[in-house]
Amino acid sequence: MKKLSALFLMLFLHAFCVKAQVLSNSDSPVRLSESYELANIILALTDYGKKDPWEVTQQSAYYEQVRTYFDKHSNHPLLTKVNYSRKQWENYLSFRTDSYAFAFDAGNHLVRKFQMVTNQGFNPFEENLSLVEDFVRVLGFRQFYQAHLSYYQDLANAYLISQHYPQMRQFLERELGKHTITGSYAIVMSPLVGRMNCHRRVAGVDTDFITLPSFLLTGKTVKEATQEEIASGTHMLFTELDHAFVNPLTEKHRALVKAHFDNKLWDAGSGYETDSLATFNEYMTWGIYAIFVEEYFPSVAAKVSTDWTLQNETRGFYASALFTKELVTFYKNRKPGQTIKDLYPPFIKRLGSLKNALSKPVIQQCNLNNQTIQDTTATFIIEFSETMIPLPSFDIIHVIEENGKTKSTRISLTTADNKLLWTDKGKVVSFRLCLVKDAINYLFFNYPWKTLTPLQNLQGINLPPYSKIKTTVQTNK
């Protein structure tokens, strides 16, 4: 990999907390941990790690090197023991993250350096410590790690450059207060982590365990990346870092949040709803991210915010578009000198006034859904559960399933090309579309990362992501 810039000092080994490697620039929060990389390699080699499309990032050349080096020992008993599934996410995340509390001593044994519990009641890394050490010895992990140390170091430098970290910190301190994070701050990374970022306070240090932007993992330099790639890539770090600012501020307004924000109304099964403030904090971190992107990446802010809003809605935070729109509106209409911190009380009260507007629009029926037709030119008539914003044009993703293979195309429906027509005061939309014969045709609405113009109800709540219609075209041969 190319060296990134002479302006940035080279990384070197330095003992810090768990003898993690850190950037020689004292202002850098990035940490490289040998034990953390070990845990991620182990999980990547399990059957689940190989098969799940999101858990382990598999698009890098490094991933292929991991597989080539370690797969010859894929029968090691540890890999069966820690072959967790998505349902066992607490074990998976705990095994991965708790490893950070360990380091190798002079005798090549893993020893705990400090107490750390990622998820209460789960301790899988330490429980399997003897098998982990056997894995290290038999498979030559430490030799592999040392051989790739320069790669980890270059990747850490590239990551920090790409994230606009100084601007992030300055923005959050300006808007939410300078003294919210106490003590030091650390970012822990591995090129194998595909999902489940987490923020934990580790031995007195606010620590974010992050995923890396795809463009870095595929070998692009920061200069080669687009503004959209960089802006979107900052989401992972920003929405973890700002929890250290948002959560304490929300706690100060606990009574107000409890009075005006009902988890049962805002949460559609995210898993956060059992915590009295967690759902609110999740919504707030993403709303603030939209304001950050608008300030630092204005040319791509709309696209990036739409992408992440739809993605967040797939997790049960179904009203993300509405929440963010309200927060951004408050921010744009703020008085001179006001910050997000100042807006907290009136904004929370505003959310309380929206409780009667919270509904989940769905496709109620469609004349061609789950139907088999012969004509490739079809007129779709879709009825929604409530009135939608009658957009003059919106996107659908046309997915064609043919002979066991699929391909997709984004189509912008218009009046001129598709006879797009809204009726019944926005509850019904109709349009014409050319379908593919002898194939299953899916029409997806609000498809994350592909849809440019989402469908929303009048209140600003999106139609659920991946809403779809299935129509089969079977012609007479």
Mean pLDDT of 89-103: 95
**Does residue 23 carry a pLDDT above 50?**
no
391-407 pLDDT tens trace = 999 999 999 999 889 99
181-193 pLDDT tens trace = 545 788 999 999 9
What distance in Å separates the CA atoms of residue 374 and residue 437, rounded to the nearest whole number?
A: 8
343-357 pLDDT tens trace = 999 999 999 999 998
Global pTM reads 0.78
Question: Among 35-39, 51-55, 385-389, which is the least confidently predicted range?
Answer: 51-55
422-435 pLDDT tens trace = 999 999 999 999 99
**Does residue 459 carry a pLDDT above 50?**
yes
Contacts 24+ apart (CB under 8 A), 177-181: 177/245, 177/249, 177/341, 180/244, 180/245, 180/248, 180/249, 181/206, 181/244, 181/245
Residue percentage of the chain with pLDDT more than 90: 76
Average pLDDT taken over every residue of the chain: 90
User: Within 10 A of 95 (CB to CB), how many other CB atoms are there?
Assistant: 25
In the structure, what pLDDT confidence band is assigned to residue 320 with cuts at 50, 70 and 90?
very high
Cite the residue boundaries of each domain of the chain with CATH code 2.60.40.10: 363-473
What distance in Å separates the CA atoms of residue 263 and residue 462, rounded to the nearest whole number?
A: 18
CATH architecture of structural domain 363-473: Sandwich (2.60)
